[in-house]
Structure 1
């Protein structure tokens, strides 16, 4: 069981687990030309979002490693972080959605939803506590203004 200071599993492990479940679920599903193209657009957009977020964190000289959110040197609120507080996790979820679309499997969306739920409840909540402690009122204002994922502000 995770403590407040340590995640149950690092985000790359959660992602790999969700991807493995998707692969097992869809091993008999064949992509179509249309699903390949649509999935390609989703994957490219997701990869671009992740790259933009990583570059923004590096440009702001702060950590990109999720294991130690308390080591963040700066609160980053620009670039993709002006639209969502978790653009990298959103991008990773997008890659899982792209795979479900590629395989033409609605059921394969379940591991993507599971990834979001685990990351939201374990990792994101932990990061938010660390950032609130480190940056105080400034982080709380950011939290109130920018959605955790998309569309829902304040949580």
Structure 2
């Protein structure tokens, strides 16, 4: 297993990319000439992102399973209903939407590459290692779930 797999809390990764997006704004063109459209989109994606995160956490709590992304082996049961019927990673989708919202709020064209880099990092250093652990833990049930729900959206 790679030395970065499941080592950095996803919230810290998100904060890093939020900072990177703000710093990159200095070197990218801005969308300020578009008027209030970026601000409107920022609010919409902020609401969507928070909703995804809250629904995911709520369903994990309701199922009495761990929310700790650094210890997927502590998962007590597979959650496949609600938001988890649409995406296997609603909290990470929510984080990506928060990053989109932040980039729109800053009106920067730096946002798309930062969001893509965030998603690539999360996929390879968080999601794939989680999936391997959950496949070992839940076997065929998790493999069937993977066929029904997408990794992102």
Q: TM-score, normalised by structure 2?
A: 0.89
Aligned pair count reads: 149
Relative to its length, the structure with more helix (as a share) is 2
User: Equivalent of 2:133, from 130, 134, 137?
Assistant: 130
2:13 aligns to what? 14
User: Equivalent of 1:148, from 145, 148, 151?
Assistant: 151
Q: Deviations over 1:102-148 (max 9, x none)?
A: 22222222111111000001100111011111111100100111111
Root mean square deviation of aligned Cα: 2.0
1:63 aligns to what? 66
Query: CA separation of 1:148/1:30 partners in 2, compared to 1, >3 Å: closer, same or farther?
Result: closer
Contact 2:88/2:152 (8 A) holds in 1: yes
Cα deviation, residue 17, structure 1: 1.0
Q: Deviations over 1:6-56 (max 9, x none)?
A: 425221221111111011122595854332122101101110111011101
Query: CA separation of 1:71/1:8 partners in 2, compared to 1, >3 Å: closer, same or farther?
Result: closer
Q: Structure 2 unaligned segments of length 5 or more: list them.
A: none
Task: Name the SS for the 2:77 alignment partner.
Answer: coil
Higher relative contact order (CA 8 A, sep 6+): 2
Q: Which runs of at least 4 in structure 1 moved beyond 6 Å after TM superposition?
A: none
1:103 aligns to what? 106
Q: Structure 1 unaligned segments of length 5 or more: list them.
A: 151-155
Q: TM-score, normalised by structure 1?
A: 0.88
